[in-house]
């Protein structure tokens, strides 16, 4: 299927076709662990990566394959690898690139769980991260050294809703000869196409806007297919002989799909971050309405943010869609369909007032999630970002007086009325 089709057409048809065995029009849930080989030679060719097919559902599954194809086409990538969660996708993306003593340069404006993963967990692999303000190209360049293997940022950041100038960051990555990894969870390919802006890899928590209904977890790594993994000796997992496959060189053998094949044949094989086929099915169905949901998310978010900005009980609002935002010009230039629907606001009265507001909301759901059709709220400093120091919280946009909103697709006036009554309780 061609990528020239309209976005809304791809959300329904990409990766999907009538089931050849039954004619079923919706992609079936292939709830199976394993697949019958035609004969011994067929099995050997599959295990040697000489033929593409299905071996075992830790590696490949037809339902998940359909989702991988759909997301890759929506992002404009060469291929994709689905996995169990957005956090798993981040490790899966880094796995072929890193090694003991190697580092990544990451944005200071990241989801708190990602900051923790990069600050602490990856150190157990001998990897490390350096956190830099992505709005400062000179600081970004200065943070890169001979052991840096990637730059990592979010297209729209969680929790503050700040937008990243991806082409500017990609320029620095290109000059250093390293890949740029962009988490596109909050923007989705409806609002932003990082690969078109120079990203090498795109990761998603499919749990969020892509599925859009708060039912399943999932992640994906999309490979642009544009990076030359053999241009230097920095990425031996992709350019050098692989002992587990009799010396096969992934980049030499698979070209633009080298990262994708490595992600399945080694990443999923050895890390086991497998997506559930039923979860893939729910996500496929969710993506079918992505082009309908995202405009409503953005429209509602702007209306709510504008109302909050004018309210005397509110100190500030971070939404990049506001004309007053320092990121508004970047948002208009790179995200013309909107700046997403996640943002924060600071409430007068500090930590105590923020907690009272969250407890006083009735229509907003107080949950540790975002990107749902429902509007969601959380106090990041006491939950998702509580492991960070206050300085780290403030750098990430999750200060103690800050409340994060994920605006859904309900009626915006109803959402504003709920915020109004909760602000009254918090002020009281």
User: For residue 3, is pLDDT > 80?
Assistant: no
**In this predicted structure, what is the pLDDT of residue 159?**
83
The CB density around residue 333, as the number of other CB atoms within 10 Å, is 11
Span 209-254, pLDDT tens digits: 999 999 999 999 999 999 999 999 999 999 999 999 999 999 999 9
Burial 161-186 (b: 16+ CB within 10 A, else e): bbbbbbebbbbbbeebebbbbbbbbb
Computed over every residue of the chain, the mean pLDDT equals 95
**In this predicted structure, what is the pLDDT of residue 21?**
84
Are the C-beta atoms of residues 248 and 321 closer than 8 Å to each other? no
Give which of 142, 129, 131 is closest to 172, Cα–Cα: 142
Mean pLDDT of 65-69: 98
Token code pair at residue 74 = 């929506």
The DSSP annotation for 242-288 comes to: BGGGTTB-HHHHHGGGHHHHHIIIIIIHHH--PPPHHHHHHHHHHHT
Span 397-426, pLDDT tens digits: 778 889 999 999 999 999 999 999 999 999
**In this predicted structure, what is the pLDDT of residue 1?**
61
Are the C-beta atoms of residues 11 and 188 closer than 8 Å to each other? no
Tell me whether the CATH fold assigned to 7-286 matches the one assigned to 292-427: no
**In this predicted structure, what is the pLDDT of residue 2?**
60
Cα(238)–Cα(259) distance, rounded to whole angstroms? 7
pTM of the model: 0.95
Name the CA dihedral angle for 172, 178, 184, 185, rounded to a multiple of 10 degrees. Answer: -130
Give which of 198, 169, 178 is closest to 104, Cα–Cα: 178
Domain boundaries, the chain: 7-286, 292-427
Give which of 122, 92, 126 is closest to 267, Cα–Cα: 92
Are the C-beta atoms of residues 153 and 182 closer than 8 Å to each other? yes
Cα(257)–Cα(81) distance, rounded to whole angstroms? 11
CATH of 7-286, one of 3.40.640.10, 3.40.1550.10, 3.40.50.880, 3.40.50.150: 3.40.640.10
Mean pLDDT of 331-343: 96
**In this predicted structure, what is the pLDDT of residue 405?**
96
The DSSP annotation for 78-125 comes to: SEEEEES-HHHHHHHHHTTT--TT-EEEEESS--HHHHHHHHTGGGGG
- Rg of the chain on CA atoms, in Å: 22
Which phi and psi angles does 278 have, rounded to 5°?
Answer: -70, -40
The architecture in CATH of the region 292-427 reads: Alpha-Beta Complex (3.90)
């Amino acid at each position: 299927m061609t990528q020239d089709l309209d976005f809304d057409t791809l959300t329904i048809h990409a990766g999907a076709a009538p089931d050849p065995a039954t004619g079923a029009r919706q992609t079936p849930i292939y709830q199976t662990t394993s697949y019958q080989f035609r004969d011994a030679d067929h099995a050997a060719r599959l295990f040697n990566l000489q033929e593409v097919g299905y071996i075992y559902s830790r590696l490949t599954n037809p339902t998940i394959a359909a989702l991988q194809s759909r997301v890759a086409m929506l992002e404009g990538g060469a291929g994709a690898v689905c996995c169990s969660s957005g956090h798993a996708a981040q490790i899966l993306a880094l796995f072929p690139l890193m090694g003991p003593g190697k580092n990544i340069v990451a944005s200071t404006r990241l989801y708190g769980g990602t900051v923790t993963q990069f600050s602490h967990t990856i150190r157990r692999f001998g990897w490390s991260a350096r956190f830099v303000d992505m709005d400062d190209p000179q600081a970004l360049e200065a943070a890169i050294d001979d052991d840096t293997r990637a730059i990592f940022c979010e297209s729209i950041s969680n929790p503050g809703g700040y937008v990243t100038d991806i082409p500017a960051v990609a320029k620095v990555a290109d000059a250093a000869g390293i890949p740029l990894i962009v988490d596109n969870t909050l923007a989705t390919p409806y609002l932003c196409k990082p690969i078109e802006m120079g990203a090498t890899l795109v990761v998603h928590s499919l749990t969020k806007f892509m599925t859009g209904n708060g039912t399943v977890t999932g992640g994906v790594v999309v490979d642009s297919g544009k990076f030359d993994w053999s241009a230097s000796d920095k990425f031996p997992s992709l350019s050098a002989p692989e002992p587990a496959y009799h010396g096969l060189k992934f980049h030499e053998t698979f070209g633009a799909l080298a990262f994708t094949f490595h992600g399945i044949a080694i990443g999923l094989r050895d890390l086991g971050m497998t997506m559930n086929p039923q979860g893939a099915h729910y996500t496929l169905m969710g993506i079918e309405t992505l082009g309908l949901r995202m405009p409503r998310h953005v429209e509602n978010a702007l209306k709510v943010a504008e109302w909050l900005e004018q309210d005397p009980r509110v100190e500030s609002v971070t939404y990049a869609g506001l004309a007053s935002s320092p990121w508004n010009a970047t948002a208009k230039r790179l995200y013309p369909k909107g700046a997403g629907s996640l943002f924060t606001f600071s409430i007068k009265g500090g930590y105590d007032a923020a907690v009272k507001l969250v407890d006083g909301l009735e229509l907003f759901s107080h949950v540790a999630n975002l990107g749902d059709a429902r509007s969601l709220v959380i106090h990041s400093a006491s939950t998702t970002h509580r492991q960070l120091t206050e300085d780290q919280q403030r750098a990430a946009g999750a200060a103690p007086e800050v409340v994060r909103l994920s605006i859904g697709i309900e009626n915006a006036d109803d959402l504003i009325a709920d915020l109004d009554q909760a602000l009254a309780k918090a002020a009281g």
